[in-house]
Amino acid sequence: MNYFNDVATLARKDLLLELRARDTLPAMLLFVVAALVVFHFALPAEAGDLAGLGLLWVAIIFTALLGLSRAWVAEREQGVLDGLVLSPADRSAIWVGKAISSLAFLVLAEAIALPAFWIFFTGLDAATIAGVLLADIGLCSVGAFVAAMSTATRARELLLPVLFLPLAIPLVVGGVGSSVVDDPARYLAFLGLYDCLFATICWASFEYVVTE
Amino acid sequence: MLPPLAVVLFATAISLIFFWVPEDAEDPAQRIFYFHVPIALTAYSCFGWGAWKALRVLGKRDERADVESYVAIHQGTIFGALTLVTGSLWARATWGHWWLWSSRQLVLFLVLFLFYCAYFMLRFSVEPGPRRANLSAVYALFGVVLTPVSFLAIRLAEDFIHPTVFTRDGPQMTASMFTTFCVSLAAMLSLFATFYSIELAGKRIDARIRELREALS
């Protein structure tokens, strides 16, 4: 049970910081709505709803990327990460806590973005929303992991998109599939498989990212 | 021992490809198959070998394995680029397009190529030392998981992006085709082994010279 307490404490710390400083979530919200407006002008009238659904996934990926690039900033600037590594908590709990707080930010941003998409473009079915939630888990677990990797480098935030986008391609396939195909079960199952596989490998190898 | 073996195997493979194997009447450019597919398989072997060495870095704290893993992935990226080039040439000669999104292997190699190029960016923006070894090793292991997942994703994406128009699963390979293919594959693998040992020796000499310089100054 100790492990879950550690995770909850770490995630609560991030949420509390965000509640007080309010620097990540408002930026994500503004970005995603602005991106949807840009997409409206990027699509010719004949492009249709399917193209809009595809672009929704572009908006989700880049919004997640925006949030993730800020995910470890407090840890790095204040030297918190060394303290966390020295604490008796399991190292993987640091990653789980960060993935959960990133997930919370992304889901909150989508709570605005999906209704906005509905108003601006076209309606969303249950499969799309299930696809978004499943993809969010994958985006945040892999994203929090590679963001920690990029924090350890000289290039910092510059490296995050380069590391993250090739890993996110399968999520885009699963997500777009679940929103545009008549029988989305296969795509949802694929997203679930991705989440399980990558969450396991991130969980098992996070220790090596924060220690020497 | 390795370089002469690679040269002999290459000479054999080229003569088999051009003088022995029967020509495909519909597609004369099909001969590039004997280079393209072995190069692709060699690239997979490089990435697999790199990941195996990465596992040794993390599990056994084996410092030599870090350079070995890097060299294998470096070679793998070069063979991956060659796969893209030969695949593109084949597509141009046979179907008239430089790039086909309906060719699964080619798309998979594009994804892997992007992924492993990022490996070098990651590696060269960290100071040499145990941290760099760890980060590179973890990233190399991600590649092993990403390859089958991406392959599955590309298959799934065909349903809504492009129905498969062209397939390369032609008629079954005849005995002569299969022999040529195997010789070609052996030639590519021995080429990889040659490059791998040369680059590794270079890296080790480099590290040794640096140590000596530090000892002198």
State which amino acid sits at residue B138. V
Tell me which residue of B143, B177, B119 sits closest to B51, measured CA to CA.
B143
Cβ pair B70, B51 in contact under 8 A? no
Instruction: Give the model's pLDDT for residue B170.
Output: 52
Interface test with A, best of B117, B122, B124, B147 (most A CBs within 10 A): B122
Summarised one tens digit per residue, pLDDT across range B51-62 is 999 999 988 888
For the cut 90, the answer to whether the pLDDT of residue A46 exceeds it is no
Summarised one tens digit per residue, pLDDT across range B123-142 is 999 988 888 999 999 999 99
Quick check: B122 and A153 CB within 8 A?
yes
d(CA A163, nearest CA chain B) in Å:
6
| CA B75 – CA B42 distance, rounded (Å) | 9
Cβ pair B130, B192 in contact under 8 A? no
Structure tokens at B126: 């960290």
Residue B168 per-residue DSSP state: -
Average of pLDDT values for A43-51?
81
CB contact burial B67-82 (16+ within 10 A = b; e otherwise): bbbbbbbbbbbbbbbb
Q: Of the given ranges (A184-198, B98-112, B113-127), which has the lowest mean pLDDT? A: B98-112
Instruction: Find the chain B residues whose C-beta atoms sit closer than 8 A to any C-beta of A.
Output: 58, 111-112, 114-115, 118, 121-122, 125-126, 129-131, 134-135, 137-139, 141-142, 145-146, 149-150, 152-154, 156-157, 159-160
| CA A173 – CA A152 distance, rounded (Å) | 30
Instruction: Give the model's pLDDT for residue B171.
Output: 52
For the cut 50, the answer to whether the pLDDT of residue B166 exceeds it is no
| C-alpha dist (Å) from residue A122 to A53, A119, B157, B172, B180 | 8, 7, 22, 48, 55
For the cut 50, the answer to whether the pLDDT of residue B165 exceeds it is no
Summarised one tens digit per residue, pLDDT across range A22-42 is 888 999 999 999 999 998 888
Instruction: Give the model's pLDDT for residue B168.
Output: 53
Cβ pair A139, A171 in contact under 8 A? yes
| CA B7 – CA B11 distance, rounded (Å) | 6
State which amino acid sits at residue A73. V
- The better pLDDT of the pair A66, B104 is held by A66
Average of pLDDT values for A54-62?
92
Helices (H), chain A: 2-21, 25-42, 48-69, 73-77, 80-86, 91-120, 126-151, 159-180, 185-210
Residues of chain A with pLDDT > 70, as a percent, come to 100
Average of pLDDT values for B104-132?
90
Instruction: Give the model's pLDDT for residue B9.
Output: 87
pTM: 0.88
d(CA A92, nearest CA chain B) in Å:
14
Residue A78 per-residue DSSP state: T
Instruction: Give the model's pLDDT for residue A156.
Output: 81
Residues of chain B with pLDDT > 90, as a percent, come to 44
For the cut 90, the answer to whether the pLDDT of residue B20 exceeds it is no
Cβ–Cβ contact A193 with B under 8 A: yes
For the cut 60, the answer to whether the pLDDT of residue B77 exceeds it is yes
| CA A130 – CA B85 distance, rounded (Å) | 39
State which amino acid sits at residue B189. L
Burial class of residue A167 in the structure, from the number of CB atoms within 10 Å of its CB (0-12 exposed, 13-18 middle, 19+ buried) = buried
Length of chain A counted residue by residue: 212
Residues of chain B with pLDDT > 70, as a percent, come to 92
| CA B119 – CA B98 distance, rounded (Å) | 27
Cβ pair B18, B39 in contact under 8 A? no
Partners of B142 on chain A (C-beta within 8 Å) are 167, 201
For the cut 60, the answer to whether the pLDDT of residue B163 exceeds it is no
Q: Calculate the CA B20 to chain-centre distance.
A: 27
Cβ pair B106, B39 in contact under 8 A? no
| CA B194 – CA B56 distance, rounded (Å) | 22
Structure tokens at B82: 């060659």
Please report which confidence band the pLDDT of residue A88 belongs to, taking 50, 70 and 90 as the band edges: confident
Cβ pair B79, B39 in contact under 8 A? yes
Instruction: Give the model's pLDDT for residue A146.
Output: 94
For the cut 90, the answer to whether the pLDDT of residue A142 exceeds it is yes
Instruction: Give the model's pLDDT for residue B162.
Output: 54
Average pLDDT, chain B: 86
Interface test with B, best of A149, A165, A195, A211 (most B CBs within 10 A): A149
Helix (H, G, I), strand (E, B) or coil at A70: coil
| C-alpha dist (Å) from residue B34 to A187, B6, B46, B115, B190 | 35, 16, 19, 26, 15
Summarised one tens digit per residue, pLDDT across range A148-192 is 999 888 888 889 999 999 999 999 999 998 888 888 888 999 999
Cβ pair B57, B134 in contact under 8 A? yes
Burial class of residue B163 in the structure, from the number of CB atoms within 10 Å of its CB (0-12 exposed, 13-18 middle, 19+ buried) = exposed
| CA B145 – CA B54 distance, rounded (Å) | 13
| CA A75 – CA A151 distance, rounded (Å) | 9
Average of pLDDT values for B158-186?
69
Query: Using DSSP, how many helices (H) and how many strands (E) does chain B show?
Result: 6, 0
Nearest residue of B to residue A186, measured between CA atoms: B156
Average pLDDT, chain A: 90
Cβ–Cβ contact A201 with B under 8 A: yes
* DSSP class per residue in B151-164: HHHHHHHTTTS---
Structure tokens at B146: 């990403």
Helix (H, G, I), strand (E, B) or coil at B21: coil
Nearest to B118 among A162, A180, A187 (CB): A162
